[in-house]
Amino acid sequence: MKGLNTALGAAGLAAFLALGEAVPRLGLVKADYFPPTSRIARAFGTELSDGAFWSALGDTLTGWAVGLAVAVGAGIVAGVAISVVPHLREATASTIEFLRPIPSVALIPLAILLYGTELRSVLLLVVYAAFWQVLIQVMYGVQDVDPVAEETARSYGLGTWARVRHVLWPTALPYVMTGVRLAAAVALILTITAELVIGAPGLGQRIAVAQTSQAVPEMYALIVVTGLLGLVINVGARSVERRALAWHQSVRGEVTV
């Protein structure tokens, strides 16, 4: 079954690439706006041989990784604290519901005013967007803790931190990993968006430069790179999730199937 799925996926990708080659050559769309797959592939190869491309890729990965790390750390600490400290969840509920729906792109003017085109502008947007993904999942995870297990731990004299480690954390971990996986994707989106709009160094800036200079094949090649980067990040996040939750029934069932 796995081999069949792989074959079908490869066939679908080949058909998509062939369609991308045929549509502009048949005149259905202008090649100036949507070049054939072969031209995009050549531009992709040119980018890979350019040192500036690798520097831009490094800038993008730096903004993504640092922003994600800060967001995950802050989200876990805040989520556990809000859920464990009495009445803190009720006290912060309205503030969270007010701030969470604000689109991160709405903070772009503020980021530019504060930090210009520096890395800190990117981090501001990335951390704000990814933080909520982790925080909400952590709060759901803590809320899902079995009251019987909690009371049993109390009856055995476990302190607060011992209960967090042995009762709360194992229950919340699947939710945490889901939040991290979602945050990883959101962080990449905001990193590219910030570079594209603000002009911070990275792949997004190179896409904007290629677009303004009418280097259309190069622009599409860079867009393909961002797509591949997102795919790698998603696969990596799922791999980490499986390893961290190897003991959990959801992953064990997935492996069994």
Helix (H) or strand (E) holding 246: none
Give the DSSP letter of residue 43.
H
- For 165-213, the pLDDT digits (tens) are 778 888 888 999 999 999 999 999 999 999 999 989 999 999 999 999 9
CA pair distance 49, 45, nearest whole angstrom: 7
Q: What end-to-end distance do the CA atoms of the chain give, in Å?
A: 10
Predicted local confidence at residue 255, as pLDDT: 46
Q: CA triplet 21, 23, 28: central angle to 5 degrees?
A: 155
Predicted local confidence at residue 142, as pLDDT: 86
CA pair distance 183, 65, nearest whole angstrom: 11
Q: Which of these, 123, 225, 96, 241, lies nearest to 182 by C-alpha position?
A: 241
CA pair distance 2, 175, nearest whole angstrom: 27
Predicted local confidence at residue 172, as pLDDT: 86
Looking at every residue in the chain, the average pLDDT score rounds to 87
Give the DSSP letter of residue 116.
T
Q: Are residues 188 and 11 in contact, defined by beta-carbon separation less than 8 angstroms? A: no
Interacting residues of 152 by C-beta distance below 8 A, sequence separation 6+: none
Q: Report whether pLDDT(1) > 80.
A: no
CA pair distance 13, 6, nearest whole angstrom: 11
CA pair distance 43, 217, nearest whole angstrom: 6
Q: Report whether pLDDT(59) > 90.
A: yes
- For 231-249, the pLDDT digits (tens) are 999 999 888 888 888 766 6
pTM: 0.86
pLDDT band at 3 (very low <50, low <70, confident <90, very high): low
Q: Are residues 175 and 138 in contact, defined by beta-carbon separation less than 8 angstroms? A: yes
Predicted local confidence at residue 194, as pLDDT: 92
Q: Are residues 121 and 112 in contact, defined by beta-carbon separation less than 8 angstroms? A: yes
